[in-house]
Amino acid sequence: MVILDKNKHVDVLIIAEGTYPYIRGGVSSWIHDLVSNLPELNFGVAFLGSRREDYGEIKYKLPENLVYLTTAYLFQDVEKPKAKEIEGNKEAFESIRKLIYWFKHKGTGDIPADVLNADFYEKEITYEDFLYSKRSWEIITEFYAEYAMGSPFIDYFWTIRNMHYPLWVVARLVKKIGDRFDIVHSLSTGYA
């Protein structure tokens, strides 16, 4: 959700993971000081949090040069699309299979370029495709058989479904903020 938009170009977009401007101290203070002490630059903040109810109101008086603030919640309850039979995009799910392989084998091979584009998660494999498609089911069962046979399938299944939802949250955030900034400064505070 966009909280502030002064319709100005953003020189530096800061990714604030569970910190500024909703939490006081630590990383939040550092971000506030950085923005406040560089008035010649326009800043934006993309706040990534767990759930809306885990944060209160904004804790800082926002500096004049903070020209954009948006929020995204990675684990917010969402209304899931209605279940239906979907085949799934064969080529797109093959890219996902290669990406999973890349992670499982510590960076062996190449990451498919299409999975790095936010449009991929809106057009090629939607959240609905991930939840309900035949191809998604095939990948889940394939990787369960290969990597997780020692754990109950039901636990594996729900873990996979829940841990991947943030991909679509972040893809929507990337689409929302677009290309109106020069630099992205990602402060690693936990989600990275």
Residue-wise pLDDT for 35-66, tens only, equals: 999 999 999 999 999 999 999 999 999 999 99
The per-residue DSSP string of 107-119 comes to T-S---GGGGSTT
Rounded CA-CA distance 123/11 in Å is 29
Under the banding of pLDDT at 50, 70 and 90, the label for residue 190 is low
Rounded CA-CA distance 121/175 in Å is 10
Q: Give the pLDDT confidence of 59-70 residue by residue, as tens digits.
A: 999 999 999 999
Residue 73's pLDDT is 94
Residue 106's pLDDT is 82
Residue 189's pLDDT is 57
Cis peptide before 63 (omega within 30 of 0): no
E strand segments, 31-190: 43-49, 66-73, 181-186
Domain boundaries, given as residue ranges, for the chain = 2-77+180-186, 90-171
Contact 45, 13 (CB under 8 A): yes
Q: Give the pLDDT confidence of 69-94 residue by residue, as tens digits.
A: 999 999 887 778 899 999 999 999 99
**pLDDT at 192 > cutoff 70:** no
- Cα–Cα–Cα angle for 185, 127, 132, rounded to 5 degrees: 155
3-class SS at 9?
Answer: coil
* pLDDT averaged over every residue in the chain: 92
186-191 mean pLDDT: 67
DSSP H or E run through 3: strand 2-5
**pLDDT at 188 > cutoff 80:** no
**pTM for the complete prediction?**
0.84
6-21 mean pLDDT: 95
Q: What does the block give as tokens for 130?
A: 């991930």
Residue 76's pLDDT is 86
Under the banding of pLDDT at 50, 70 and 90, the label for residue 10 is very high
Pairing of β 2-5 and β 66-73? antiparallel
Rounded CA-CA distance 73/53 in Å is 10
Residue 110's pLDDT is 87
Rounded CA-CA distance 34/27 in Å is 10
